[in-house]
A = this chain, B = another copy of it.
Amino acid sequence: MTTLTDCRALDASDSLRPLRDQFVLPEGVIYLDGNSLGVLPKSAAPRIADVITREWGQDLIRSWNSAGWFHMPQRLGNKIATLVGAGPGEVVATDSTSVNLYKVLSAALNMAAEDAPSRKTVISERSNFPTDLYIAESLCRERGYTLQLVEPDEINAALTQEVAVLMLTHVNYRTGAMHDMAALTQAAHAAGVLAVWDLAHSAGAVPVDLQGANADFAVGCGYKYLNGGPGAPAFVWVHPRHTDRFRQPLSGWWGHAAPFEFTPGYSPAPGITRYLCGTQPMLSLAALECGLDVFGAAASLGGMAALRSKSLALTDLFIALVEERCAGHGLGLATPREHTQRGSQVCLTRSLGPHAPPLRGSLPPEGAVTDLGRPGDGDSGAYAIAQALIARGVIGDFRAGDGAGHPDILRFGFTPLYIGFEDVWHAVEHLKQVLETGEWQNAEFNQKHVVT
């Protein structure tokens, strides 16, 4: 059995531990939701105060030059590039993940229309992050393509001669399951299919090698593991072999070859700059840069490889402690045990038992309940358990099942930059107490709020 003392020893020998001091961690909170919104880097408050009072307040329009505002998307993009296996000048930080996905999926469909006009299907995963599916649905409707949704184990078989693009999220937001980017990209290319990757739950959390995987297009999020602040700008990467071949449809002034010549006709800038559109929010970009600069400090401590080792140790520990300390409460593991298939989060399901009356009345289908397996859909109590944990200061989150084979999920993200092994111990201890006391059944924890 693992003990609290063991966890403290792991923290004591953690060479990445100094990075924790670069963040504000609220008193009394164990924050396991960095996969939704990363915590505040200590450098952000003074940096943004300076952007506001000096760059905006005093220097005003002159800061476009003097503060480097104009090249912020590229400057931040180069910092992100080092985390995702991209080269300098290949990434820009800009817009939202959804908007960037629209750009790259448009470009991919343009390419497919030219190179393989008979291919009229886009493949994605049924439990891909919904906004990705919404964007794909829109473009498919507009361009006369079919969006075909499959389960992860059906992807390879789905790569037929009808398929133009495979669009996947590298680490699944619901389960934490991680795809083999290199293998799937290779399979896609072998089938004549372009590969578009969403790195929202990967960048800064797991090693990503876009060039090594020979991917075609990628987008990702700034406010999760990159700790860029609420709604931070996202990023976009295009393989250099494709960048100059197509325009993307959001052809705003910032992607123009000569943006200050104010010519009436659009001429795209060379390289990834053409994936910029309108003017970007500087306060939010500056905050994102503070998040990125922590990774600069992490580089001298082993970088993404060291962060990955710690992340796996944290998630291994969490799984082991839940199994040791929370047995008999119907919890199941939705995240793969295999390291190669796991992101930086652990997702639990919960089945119903006699100790846990259904909250909204529906029972799971007979035989669908297994311990540490996938329970059937139905009311799991997971929402109330997440709320009870939050009331204790253990912030994870809940994702509702979809009634189509994907169960309710309790989601716990482990950001190796700032989460420690003792945090994991206490989080599981709180989970154990929530389950053993039954406090999650209190009415207050069953009131629905907006969650993200």
Contact = CB atoms under 8 A, between A and B. Distances in A.
Interface of A: 24, 26, 29, 31, 33, 36-37, 39-40, 44-45, 48-49, 52-53, 55-65, 69-70, 95-99, 102, 126-128, 130-131, 133-135, 137-139, 142, 149, 223, 229-234, 247, 249-254, 256, 260-266, 277-285, 287, 390, 395, 397, 399-400, 402, 449-452
Contacts of A134: 251-253, 256, 265-266
B230 A69 contact: yes
Given A44-B56, A130-B253, A138-B266, 4 more contacts: A48-B48, A102-B249, A135-B251, A230-B282
A45 B40 contact: no
Given A33-B60, A98-B277, A131-B253, A283 B230 contact: yes
Contacts of A451: 64, 260
Best-surrounded residue of A102, A283, A402, A450 (most CB of chain B within 10 A): A283
Contact of A60 (B26, B128, B261): B26
A281 B283 contact: yes
B149 A282 contact: no
Best-surrounded residue of A63, A253, A449 (most CB of chain B within 10 A): A253
Contact of A395 (B57, B60, B249, B390): B60
Contacts of A280: 96, 231
A289 B334 CA distance: 41
Nearest to A264: B133
Contacts of A70: 450, 452
Contacts of A49: 45, 48-49
Nearest to A56: B40
Contacts of A139: 249
A284 to B, nearest CB: 3
A395 B70 CA distance: 19
B282 A231 contact: yes
Contact of A252 (B57, B64, B96): B96
Nearest to A390: B62
3 nearest CB pairs, A to B: A96-B278, A98-B252, A281-B284
Given A45-B49, A283-B281, A400-B262, A64 B98 contact: no
A78 to B, nearest CB: 19
A113 to B, nearest CB: 11
A131 to B, nearest CB: 4
B40 A57 contact: yes
Given A96-B277, A253-B98, A52 B60 contact: no
A448 to B, nearest CB: 9
A231 B252 CA distance: 14
Contacts of A231: 69, 279-283, 285
Contact of A37 (B37, B61, B234, B283): B61
A97 to B, nearest CB: 6
B60 A249 contact: no
Contacts of A131: 252-254, 278
A95 B253 CA distance: 14
Contacts of A400: 260-262
A402 B253 contact: no
A135 B96 contact: no
